[in-house]
Amino acid sequence: MDTPLRIDSRFPAMGTTIFTVMSKLAADCGAVNLSQGFPDFQADVSLFDAVHRHMCAGHNQYPPMTGMPALRQAIAGKVAALYGARVDADSEVTVTAGATQAIFTAIAACVRPGDEVIVFAPVYDSYVPAIETVGGTAVYAQLRFPAYAPDWDEVRALITPRTRMIIVNSPHNPTGALMSTVDLDELAKTVRGTDIVILSDEVYEHILFDGEAHASLCGHAELAARSIVVSSFGKTYHITGWKIGYVVAPAALMAEFRKVHQFNVFTVHTPSQLALAEYMQDASRHLGLAAFYQAKRDAFRALLAATPFELLPCRGTYFQLARYDRISDLPDRAFAEWLTREVGVAVIPVSAFQPDGRDDKVVRFCFAKREETLAAAAEKLMQAFAK
């Protein structure tokens, strides 16, 4: 439908997210979609049964703005069990409409026009638009390739009187890198004596491999006192389409978060919250996630061993990075599009996460897929690039 309005875009350079672009291309080409990060298998049917039961029991009206008490208490219990941190379910936990909403709300609550926010590149693509929407400026610290490790001296050099927030993400999307307890100590040292808020994106907190332990900011007393920690039920329980996550933060920060939360989403689907509160009581459902996805990671890496892709370390998340410079000289976005159209496997070009388009000839595969999906993708890749 045409409009007579002259639209002066607030974000004229902002395009469509690379995930939407590549998933559409995959659908248009009939390619195996290993681009966008979502499972293609079903979640536990008992979770669906619990939602239905709560719907039938009449739990279909607005829940409290902060989330159903049973779910907030279950979250507080999990944080205590995993990270040894005692959080108040009433004042320090809020249920959100997914992690992206939580991240946007945290930024909107804390960042004012003219403030600076330090982010680490490659940077997940929702952070910077949220910063710019509220009038802030993103300042980039580069993770060191190929390990994608932070350089804390660089971070300290980037801090100015305008620095309001630092965003960290571990396990890291898109690289699969992890922050260690040493990194957390360096971060604490970096912000000590300042009013800088830490926003910690920990949506893959249960997906770590080879015996690694998650270094949550909830478990670091000095950092927890100034941090907003975000997690996701969608990633943990294979229900990304439900868009339910949560935030843990000290009461003073949470009060500011809720001021925005109440007006940009207010609350989240009642029967799903009650079902999740029940489902969380069996801790094996989140504690078993690492082994579940490690098996998929190992199987996928074994399948790709017969191709010229150079597989980079994957310590967490359900993403595998691979260098393709032995296959093609194309820039990574052109290579990803060619791979989708001509080979039939869709991936994400990692330059999409770089502010300057830095291209290390690396693409991201998602292995949160059924065995047959991964096998079909690997067969196409081996047929195209067999060593």
Q: Which of 261, 282, 303 is the last residue of a domain?
A: 282
Assess contact for 71 and 95: CB atoms under 8 A.
yes
Rounded to a whole number of angstroms, the CA Rg of the chain reads 21
3 within a domain of the structure (yes/no): no
Please tell me whether residues 271 and 320 are part of one structural domain.
no
Amino acid present at 186: E
Question: Taking the model in full, what pTM does it have?
Answer: 0.96
Q: Describe the crossing of helices 251-264 and 98-110 by its angle, rounded to 10 degrees.
A: 110
Give the helix ranges, DSSP H, for the chain. Answer: 18-29, 45-56, 69-83, 98-110, 127-133, 152-158, 181-191, 221-224, 233-237, 251-264, 270-279, 284-287, 289-304, 332-338, 371-385
The boundaries of the domain holding residue 104 are: 45-282
Task: Walk along the chain (387 residues) and give the pLDDT tens digit of each residue.
Answer: 888 898 888 888 778 889 899 999 999 999 999 998 899 999 999 999 999 999 999 999 999 999 999 999 999 999 999 999 999 999 999 999 999 999 999 999 999 999 999 999 999 999 999 999 999 999 999 999 999 999 999 999 999 999 999 999 999 999 999 999 999 999 999 999 999 999 999 999 999 999 999 999 999 999 999 999 999 999 999 999 999 999 999 999 999 999 999 999 999 999 999 999 999 999 999 999 999 999 999 999 999 999 999 999 999 999 999 999 999 999 999 999 999 999 999 999 999 999 999 999 999 999 999 999 999 999 999 999 876
243 and 349 in a single domain? The answer is no
Domain boundary (218, 253, 282) is at 282
Cis peptide before 146 (omega within 30 of 0): yes
If one counts the domains in the chain, the total is 2
- Domain boundary at 282, 311, 343, which? 282
CATH (domain of 130):
3.40.640.10
326 in the same domain as 205: no
